[in-house]
Amino acid sequence: MNFLLKKKFIFVFLWGIFFYGFLILGGAKVNASGFIYYDRYCIAKNKDVLFAPSSRADTSIKWYSSNTWAVTVSEYGIIHAQNEGESEITAVESNGNVSKCNVVVIGEDPIRIAYPSNSIVGVNNDLKLVAITPQYVESVKFEIDGPGGRFDAVATDKYPSGNVFVWSKNISIGSTGTANIKTYANTGGNWHTRDEGNFSVRVIGAFDKNSSSLQERDVSKDGANFIASCEGFVNHVYTDAAGFLTIGYGKKINQYEQFYNNTVYDEGLAVFIKLLNQGSYVRSVNNFLRNNGIKYNQHQFDALVSFCYNLGCGWLNNGSDLSRILKNCGSGSGGYYTGRVNSDNGLNVRSGAGTGFRRICALPDGTVVDVLNDGNQIDGWYKIRTNGGTEGFCCGDYLNVTSSGGGSDRSLDNIDRNAFANELLCYHHASKRCLAGLVYRRFQELDMFFYNSYTPFRRGQMNYGHFAIPECARNNCQLTDSNLLWP
């Protein structure tokens, strides 16, 4: 290798380490009060990132930038990469602790985001691939590595939206399996790719969206539109009703998760759809229903994903009453079991079936838990799951186990309508306040779940009197039956 080529190789190698391994070079540190920060942090021009330790808006920490031409910082600790350069960011906590970080701004990323119209698609069905780039990008292509082989698809449609281009290409895939897709942007004759342009699509056989089955699903277009109408679009960072820093369609901003602030509608929609279909919401609902053998149709699935998008997915697996009602939807007996601790001294939960195993925790008398393994004992011990999601083993002598129904033929078509509606409607509070808007959303999710109704969210106008208004909503929000009828 000659000297010039060797120098070029070393430069490219070191730049690759710097660009892709900046967090390793920076080295995460923790100060005396537990504040996590970096010595050095790299970010591309026009991106933002939350440096503050919490997603909840907090102005108790004071933030300073030594070079505001390159980097600005908001009162909430949101860093904005304004121009290429370097700045020292200082955080001063209320207890006097000081943390410093050098932020390096490099050139703008050629790919801002890319996503598929659906992450689950039928064989030979139309699939739209979308990419959003800065306007200096000359062309875009998608590399599809699918079950039928690898091929490229050059984006044929393009339109400007604010300061970005929106590119798209319709394709179809003829075999079942997983297609891994990379997005490439062409600038000056060179192709570039970024992690933001990587995604996958599952190609499946045809199935009836209106019939109940254990088929894994994506959110439908109607379901996505409903959730979007509930959340509303805000193109800049704002503080939601619970005090969390949020952007776009209700996307909570997490520490050190880079994002674009002051985005155009198309980019906000792209982030929302990718988050919805490839984030935890769709995956968690699919996994819960399929792992518990519960058949479901498209509108039931969409309603549960909407609920998760608003409340999070923790209720699915933490032993909540709502998750128990979902499990208890069988037409036969057996299949789902609960246990109640019957011991004045409490009951130990251990890591295995026997007193020789490690003690995990103790359950007070009267505690209700899920009993796993179809209610069967292992050497006189039950495997259980607590409301907090902890799994372990309890001695069967001190656990009263009963069947909660939900036999082998579980289907959401058989769910206890009143129990499910009453429990779902309990979730209409934020920051310990009863909110009318959440009551309306819960009613519309129930309409979707039971009646396949996808009416866009309209505050103050809801339902046809199918369900009873929670008493606290009547008292605190002054809701009456007349509020819940269409004019």
Q: DSSP characters for 408-474? A: SSEEGGGS-HHHHHHHHTT--EETTEE-HHHHHHHHHHHHHHHH---PPP-TT---BS-SPPPHHHH
Domain membership flag for residue 252 = yes
**Same domain assignment for residues 117 and 136:** yes
**Same domain assignment for residues 145 and 85:** no
- Tell me, what's the pLDDT at 431? 65
* CA 139 to each of CA 133, 190, 194, 210: distance values in angstroms, whole numbers, following the listed order: 10, 10, 15, 39
Q: Is the pLDDT score of 21 beyond 70? A: no
Domain membership flag for residue 10 = no
Whichever domain contains 90, its CATH number is: 2.60.40.1080
Domain membership flag for residue 441 = yes
**Same domain assignment for residues 233 and 318:** yes
- Tell me, what's the pLDDT at 70? 97
Q: Is the pLDDT score of 463 beyond 70? A: no
Provide the pLDDT confidence category of residue 401 given band limits of 50, 70 and 90. confident
Q: Is the pLDDT score of 473 beyond 70? A: no
Over range 324-340, report the average pLDDT. Answer: 73
**Same domain assignment for residues 95 and 169:** no
- Tell me, what's the pLDDT at 410? 86
Q: With H, G, I as helix, E, B as strand and everything else as coil, classify residue 371.
A: strand
Q: Higher confidence at residue 375 or residue 452?
A: 452
Domain membership flag for residue 57 = yes
Provide the pLDDT confidence category of residue 22 given band limits of 50, 70 and 90. very low
Q: What is the pLDDT of residues 171-205, one digit of tens each?
A: 999 999 999 999 999 999 999 999 999 999 989 88
Is 470:440 a contact under the CB 8 Å cutoff?
no
Q: Is the pLDDT score of 301 beyond 90? A: yes
Over range 137-157, report the average pLDDT. Answer: 95
Is 50:31 a contact under the CB 8 Å cutoff?
no
Over range 414-440, report the average pLDDT. Answer: 83
Q: DSSP characters for 328-349? A: --BSSS-S-EEEEE--TT-EEE
Domain membership flag for residue 154 = yes
Q: Is the pLDDT score of 5 beyond 80? A: no
> What's the first-to-final CA gap in the chain, in angstroms?
79
Over range 420-446, report the average pLDDT. Answer: 84
Q: How far is CA 272 from the centre of its chain?
A: 10
Q: Higher confidence at residue 230 or residue 332?
A: 230
Cα angle: 431, vertex 436, 437; to 5 degrees: 85
Q: With H, G, I as helix, E, B as strand and everything else as coil, classify residue 480.
A: coil
Q: Is the pLDDT score of 220 beyond 70? A: yes
**Same domain assignment for residues 454 and 313:** yes
Of the three residues 206, 235, 257, the one that is the final residue of a domain is 206
**Same domain assignment for residues 200 and 56:** no
Domain membership flag for residue 329 = no
Whichever domain contains 462, its CATH number is: 1.10.530.40
- Tell me, what's the pLDDT at 88? 94
**Same domain assignment for residues 232 and 319:** yes
Q: Is the pLDDT score of 148 beyond 80? A: yes
**Same domain assignment for residues 247 and 201:** no
Over range 381-408, report the average pLDDT. Answer: 77
> In 77-175, which residue ranges form alpha helices assigned H by DSSP?
none
**Same domain assignment for residues 365 and 386:** yes
Provide the pLDDT confidence category of residue 330 given band limits of 50, 70 and 90. confident
**Domain extent at residue 183:** 113-206
Whichever domain contains 380, its CATH number is: 2.30.30.40
Q: With H, G, I as helix, E, B as strand and everything else as coil, classify residue 159.
A: strand
Provide the pLDDT confidence category of residue 16 given band limits of 50, 70 and 90. very low
- Tell me, what's the pLDDT at 17? 39
Q: Is the pLDDT score of 26 beyond 90? A: no
Whichever domain contains 165, its CATH number is: 2.60.40.10
Of the three residues 37, 72, 106, the one that is the final residue of a domain is 106
* Cα distance between residue 157 and residue 140, in whole Å: 10
Cα angle: 54, vertex 88, 263; to 5 degrees: 55
Amino acid, single-letter form, for residue 73: V
- Tell me, what's the pLDDT at 158? 96
Provide the pLDDT confidence category of residue 20 given band limits of 50, 70 and 90. very low
In total, how many domains does the chain have?
A: 4
Average pLDDT in the chain = 84
- Tell me, what's the pLDDT at 350? 94
- Tell me, what's the pLDDT at 159? 96
Over range 427-446, report the average pLDDT. Answer: 81
Phi and psi, residue 192, nearest 5°? -125, 145
Q: Is the pLDDT score of 280 beyond 90? A: no
Angle (deg, nearest 10), helices 221-231 and 298-311: 30
- Tell me, what's the pLDDT at 404? 58
Q: Is the pLDDT score of 407 beyond 60? A: no
Domain membership flag for residue 8 = no
Domain membership flag for residue 213 = no
**Same domain assignment for residues 256 and 286:** yes
Of the three residues 150, 171, 206, the one that is the final residue of a domain is 206
- Tell me, what's the pLDDT at 477? 65
**Same domain assignment for residues 102 and 174:** no
C-alpha R_g of the chain: 26
* CA 52 to each of CA 37, 69, 235, 253, 312: distance values in angstroms, whole numbers, following the listed order: 9, 21, 21, 10, 22
Provide the pLDDT confidence category of residue 80 given band limits of 50, 70 and 90. very high
Percent of the chain clearing pLDDT 70 (strictly above): 84
* Cα distance between residue 114 and residue 164, in whole Å: 13
Provide the pLDDT confidence category of residue 18 given band limits of 50, 70 and 90. very low
**Same domain assignment for residues 86 and 43:** yes
Q: Is the pLDDT score of 435 beyond 50? A: yes
113-140 b/e (C-beta count within 10 Å ≥ 16 → b): bbbbbbbbbbbeeebebbbbbbeebeeb
